[in-house]
Amino acid sequence: MKNEGRNAKRINSVRDLEVYKLAFESAMEIFEISKSFPREEQYSLTDQVRRSSRSVCANLAEGCLRPRGC
């Protein structure tokens, strides 16, 4: 993916990846949707859903830090 022709974009950061952009956008949307969850679920289900949605971006960023990452 690094050298796929002349039109390939250089990836300088994990934020340049389309998959990261989609994951970040989804995490923000999940956060907004989870605001409407029942109050009694605030510290269990809501927290778990929010943390799991953020972990996708974190895992992508961690993978890009590895020697053969992005």
Per-residue pLDDT of 9-20, as tens digits, reads 788 889 999 999
Q: Where are the domains of the chain?
A: 14-65
Secondary structure letter of residue 5 according to DSSP: -
Count H helices and E strands in the chain, helices first.
2, 0
Residue-wise pLDDT for 39-58, tens only, equals 888 889 999 999 999 999 99
Residues near 45 by Cβ (< 8 Å), separated by ≥ 6? 37
Whether the predicted pLDDT of 62 surpasses 70: yes
